[in-house]
Structure 1
Amino acid sequence: MYNEHKVSQNLSGVKMDITQLKYLAAIVENNFNISQAARQLYISQPALSKAITMLEKEANLQIFERLKGRLIELTTDGQLIFEHAKLIINHHDELMSLLEMRSRMGEGDVLLGIPPLVITALFSDFLSLVREKNPKMNVTVIENGGKSLEEMVTSGKLDFCVMVSPESFRNSKFIEIPLHKSEYAIFVAENHPLIDKQRISWNDLNNEDIALCDESFKTYHLFVDYIQSQNIEPHSLLTAYSWDYLFASIRKSNKITFLPDASQNIFNMNGVKMLRFENPMPWNISFVYRKKSNYTTAEKYLIDFVKSYFKK
């Protein structure tokens, strides 16, 4: 059992800095191999040995058990110090990361492309929060269909792009950060003939009237390419830019619209029902930007903020 009172008495007046604690942790984590720990810490073995000896001398405690001059394990006091050292190191590293992130906050402009439905489903809180945290950075959001945004980021007209189903875009010149995974579904009026199905098959769309977003959206191309590959033939295909219009068009008709399942949390579902596919098409969202050797402070900040926000 640890004698914390004894340790605290012995450590009275002793100053341990973070470097000494990291030396101690590195030795333990490398199975008491001084040479290996020294390489990890980028210092010489004699310097590390001297630092540990000085730490024990200053603390007036034996931290390591030794056998023929070699470190073999921690003493009881050493184990107690090590447990506290791990916590202190973690808190220190978190603080340094926070300070580094804050220090990189600088004035700057970035252009961010986001499809309309995605901005409502995933980015409404994000955009207000990033502006609150870093008022010196100006994020200009370009709201357009996913297909159009892909072309813009590829041609360099956008700094960043939020993409739908990026697997069809993947390019070695770009970096992709996955943000969200979900699936597409269909939405119909509550009196539609398909309403009693638990799950629908793609073949159920044969001879149906489909309301779909226009060609500027990635969803249009994903849907059309897939039904053509499966020889599925709708009766008609109505396209529109407005997602609100598509949703409204099905409410009092037998039309079907094809949308991400997140739409049920965005649009008024009164009189409308969502039906899932037996074999659904994924609705995956990623944050995409071009690889380059140097990023502005504003670009670096936004990249870090995206990683932190969507890690939750």
Structure 2
Amino acid sequence: MNLHQLRFVREAVRQNYNLTDAAKALFTSQPGVSKAIIELEEELGVDIFTRHGKRIRGLTEPGRLVLESVELIMQEIDSLKRIGKEYAAQDSGSFTIATTHTQARYTLPKVVQAFMVKFPKVRLSLLQGNPRQIAEMVQRDQADLAIATESIAGIDGLVTLPCYQWEHVVVVAPDHPLLKTKSVSLEEIAAFPLITYDGAFAGRSKIDHAFSLRGLKPDVLLEAIDADVIKTYVELGMGVGIIAGMAFDPERDRNLRAIPVGHLFGMNVSRVAVKQGAYLRSYIYTFIELLAPTLNRKLIEQAMRGEHENYEL
């Protein structure tokens, strides 16, 4: 049994049981991958994969257990490599953050700027996607951490901790009639065409749920993943916008006005997620503390050990 065999098994599953794609991903030959897997099965005395002819189709029942062990072993191997790299170079290396557009555009710039001042030798990468996609990036070791709203909480294999709370705001033109209302209602908002987020982003589910509870079916004219796009169409007079509060800047958005609506749609919590059992380099702890000062290294390490069930904002 060797590490190459374990890598081949893991990659075969990741490539949807396509050994040709697995071989390409690992820069080796397809026959070599196939032979190594067969040799591992013979050594273990069980079939890891179900087959149709020469093609593998899925995991057998013992194969699922084997894959779980393989994932744990490879994670520990990766951790050992990171430990060596960290102690060889304390303040340099690579760091990949997976996040949504809203976080990348409005929350992270100042945090990233402060981080790069502290760690100028670290090569930082930002990957964007919807919450499900960025969670998978962390699960597959394509990113060190993910940042999004509550939708990344409760995903298998991830440890998530709350960073900060935010509320939605309604954005309108400076002369819009909603600005005359002391406390805007859902019925008043629903009277206008709406421009807001795509269903997978920035608390959209809470918006839909609030209207549904009141039996309202607002006219959602346009959906987007980018608050700047939403604000642009509001400025054109096409409707009322609902965006994350962090995405409104009175100085930058001088042609718009914002109405806080946390009382209608509830508060949202942005969260940071890391892979369960992953080894985090010291500068990753520093980044998390810059993002959310309440999340110190001790608390994060407790969460990684499974001692975070009662921690919320």
Flag whether TM exceeds 0.5 (same fold): yes
Alignment CA distance shift 1:266-1:174 (3 Å): farther
Contact 1:213–1:240 (Cα < 8 Å) also in 2? yes
Shift of 1:280: 4.0
Percent same amino acid among aligned pairs? 12
Alignment TM-score, normalising by the size of structure 1 = 0.57
Q: Are 2:213 and 1:258 aligned?
A: no
Structure 2 SS opposite 1:279: helix
Partners of 2:201 and 2:132 in 1: CA distance: 5
Partners of 1:226 and 1:152 in 2: CA distance: 31
- Bigger Rg, structure 1 or 2: 1
**One-letter code of the match for 1:311?**
P
**One-letter code of the match for 1:232?**
L
Q: Are 2:193 and 1:193 aligned?
A: no
Contact 2:169–2:242 (Cα < 8 Å) also in 1? yes
Partners of 2:87 and 2:250 in 1: CA distance: 34
What is aligned with 1:247? 231
What is aligned with 1:140? 125
Shift of 1:247: 0.1
- Aligned CA-pair RMSD: 3.0
Q: Of 178, 189, 193, which aligns to 1:209?
A: 193
What is aligned with 1:222? 206
Partners of 1:151 and 1:218 in 2: CA distance: 18
User: Aligned pairs, how many?
Assistant: 208
Partners of 2:269 and 2:216 in 1: CA distance: 23
Unaligned runs of 5+ in 2: 1-85, 295-313
Contact 2:210–2:265 (Cα < 8 Å) also in 1? no
Structure 2 counterparts to residues 37-116 of structure 1, below 5 A: 105-116=90-101
Shift of 1:234: 1.0
Alignment TM-score, normalising by the size of structure 2 = 0.57
Structure 2 counterparts to residues 97-176 of structure 1, below 5 A: 105-154=90-139, 156-166=141-151, 169-171=153-155, 173-176=157-160
Shift of 1:309: 5.2
Contact 1:260–1:283 (Cα < 8 Å) also in 2? no
Shift of 1:240: 2.4
Contact 1:182–1:284 (Cα < 8 Å) also in 2? yes
Shift of 1:218: 3.8
Q: Of 177, 181, 184, which aligns to 2:161?
A: 177
What is aligned with 2:286? 304
Unaligned runs of 5+ in 1: 1-100
Contact 2:161–2:271 (Cα < 8 Å) also in 1? yes
Q: Which runs of 4+ in 1 moved over 4 A?
A: 101-104
